[in-house]
Amino acid sequence: MKESILAKILGDSTEFSLRHRLFHVIALVGIFMSFSAGIINYFIGLGPFLVVVNFVCGVVSIALYLYSLLGKHYRMPATITVMMLSFVLFPLLWIINAGTWGSIPYYMIINAGIISVLMSGKTRYVFLVLFIMVVVGLTVAEVTIPGFVWEFSSTKVRYLDQFLGFIICIVSNAFLFAVVIDSYLREKEKSEEYLRVLERQKEEIEEKNMVLESNNAKLKEAVEKAEKLNKLLEEERQILHKLSITDGLTGFYNKKYITERLHDEIEEAHKKGKRLSVSVVDIDNFKSINDTRGHLFGDYVLKRISEVITKNLRRTDLVGRYGGDEFLIVLPNTSLEEGYVLMERIRKKIQELEWEEGFKVTISGGIAELKENQFEDLLKEADTLLYKTKNASKNKIEKGA
């Protein structure tokens, strides 16, 4: 109940800062001091002008308080309050209320505290310095200028004004300090509670982070294992794929795959208008080699021949084992003449191979170039050229037309 009433009078702490709420306290204290001083001045007979000044100050204080509370404005009403008290109201009351002989010095002491509470930074020090200069100026003027301040009508009135002003200032000062301290302590308690909540949240977050880090570590480990497994599977897949398309003895493509690649190259050449040559070669008298020297030696011959072919082909060329000792060589972007030169070089390199004394290995082959609208006949033409040279002289590459 008490908190609800204070929130309505001073402003809710969720909407108003501590300094803003203290301004409302000071405004309420100012309203009390203004009207109480005006009433006291009226009853002790200090004259209507002094009473009116106090009442006007009270009305202005009410207006500033409502503007600040309802409009949620701080800077302008706070600045107006400090300027009005420091440079208008209190200097005027000093003059018309007997200066240092009256109660106004007590109020000026409270005003210094009000400046410190409402202002901040350099603005605070500027207002304090200016206010001190005003006080010093009023004091000097009172001492040096006769009749500068209005005197009391009697000593009794002076003592009564000082006493009542003193009491009002004591009550107002005590109330103001109590509110400031209580507000500070409440803000401190809230801050400490916020810190405790933040600390608990921090601990919870740290615990969750630890769990998350643990889960991340497990996930990372699982991902690494999965990646390793996928890598192994991919390697196995590549190995199996290579085995499925490769001849185990020579390392060349097998018949099925080299035939597929030949069809692909023929389609590509027709589609893009490129040249394509194909050569079919086999080892001369290979059956006789197997029969007289054995199949192991025959395999050895196949390997050495394969090495020579591989070393002399280009990166774009394709080669496959088409039969027992027969090889199909696909030469993309190659004319008949270029292909013939290449195959002749291979033939000569094989002829130059050194074997056992009195033993020689040679190859024969045919080479043909793809013609317009030609598909299956290209391989057949190269094969026909191969058998033509084998039936004639062997150790020769027969070139198509």
Residue 41: its pLDDT value, please? 73
Q: Given the structure tokens 């109480």, which residue do they identify?
A: 36
Confidence of residue 321 (pLDDT cuts 50, 70, 90): very high
Is the pLDDT assigned to residue 194 strictly greater than 90?
no
Q: Distance between CA 341 and CA 288 in Å, rounded? A: 29
Is the pLDDT assigned to residue 393 strictly greater than 80?
yes
Contacts 24+ apart (CB under 8 A), 16-21: 16/72, 17/74, 18/183, 18/184, 18/187, 19/74, 19/117, 19/118, 19/120, 20/68, 20/74, 21/183
Q: Could you give the dihedral angle defined by the CA atoms of residues 171, 172, 177 and 183, in that order, rounded to the nearest 10 degrees?
A: 110
What string of H, E and C letters represents the secondary structure of 312-346?
HCCCCCEEEECCCCEEEEEEECCCHHHHHHHHHHH
Q: Taking Cα atoms as reference points, which of 57, 121, 63, 124 lies closest to residue 85?
A: 57
> CATH number of the domain at 255-399, please?
3.30.70.270
Report the mean per-residue pLDDT for the chain.
Answer: 87
Confidence of residue 392 (pLDDT cuts 50, 70, 90): confident
User: Half-sphere exposure (CA, 13 Å, Cβ side) for 211?
Assistant: 5
Q: Distance between CA 31 and CA 166 in Å, rounded? A: 17
Q: What are phi and psi of 279, to 5 degrees?
A: -125, 140
Q: Residue 280's beta-bridge partner residues?
A: 328, 366
Q: Distance between CA 363 and CA 284 in Å, rounded? A: 5
Average pLDDT estimate for 19-35: 79
Give the CA angle between residues 221, 225, 229 to the nearest 5°: 170
Residues 6+ apart with CB under 8 A from 308: 346, 349, 350, 353
Q: Which two tokens stand for residue 42?
A: 């009226």
Are 118 and 78 within 8 A, CB to CB? yes
- Read off the pLDDT of residues 327-337 as tens digits, 9 standing for 90 and up: 999 999 999 99
Q: Which two tokens stand for residue 381?
A: 């033409």
- Read off the pLDDT of residues 78-108 as tens digits, 9 standing for 90 and up: 888 889 888 988 898 888 878 888 888 888 8
Classify residue 394 by its DSSP letter: S
Residue 3: its pLDDT value, please? 66
Helix 18-43 to helix 155-245 angle (10° resolution) is 170
- Read off the pLDDT of residues 55-80 as tens digits, 9 standing for 90 and up: 888 888 888 888 888 888 888 988 88
Is the pLDDT assigned to residue 281 strictly greater than 90?
yes
Max Cα–Cα distance, the chain, nearest Å: 156
Residue 53: its pLDDT value, please? 78
Q: Where are the domains of the chain?
A: 2-202, 255-399
What DSSP string describes 238-290?
HHHHHHHHB-TTT-SB-HHHHHHHHHHHHHHHHHHT--EEEEEEEETTHHHHH
Are 385 and 340 within 8 A, CB to CB? no
Residue 174: its pLDDT value, please? 79
Are 268 and 318 within 8 A, CB to CB? no
Residue 1: its pLDDT value, please? 58
Is the pLDDT assigned to residue 163 strictly greater than 90?
no
- Burial code of 21-43, b = ≥16 C-beta within 10 A, e = fewer? bbbbbbbbbbbbbbbbbbebbbe
Is the pLDDT assigned to residue 130 strictly greater than 80?
yes
- This prediction has a pTM of 0.49
Residue 66: its pLDDT value, please? 86
pLDDT above 90: percentage of residues in the chain:
37
Lowest mean pLDDT among 25-39, 104-118, 265-279, 342-356: 25-39
- Burial code of 68-89, b = ≥16 C-beta within 10 A, e = fewer? bbeeeebeebbeebbebbbeeb
Radius of gyration of the CA atoms of the chain, in A: 56
Classify residue 99 by its DSSP letter: G
Average pLDDT estimate for 235-261: 90
Q: Taking Cα atoms as reference points, which of 250, 251, 252, 278 lies closest to residue 264?
A: 278
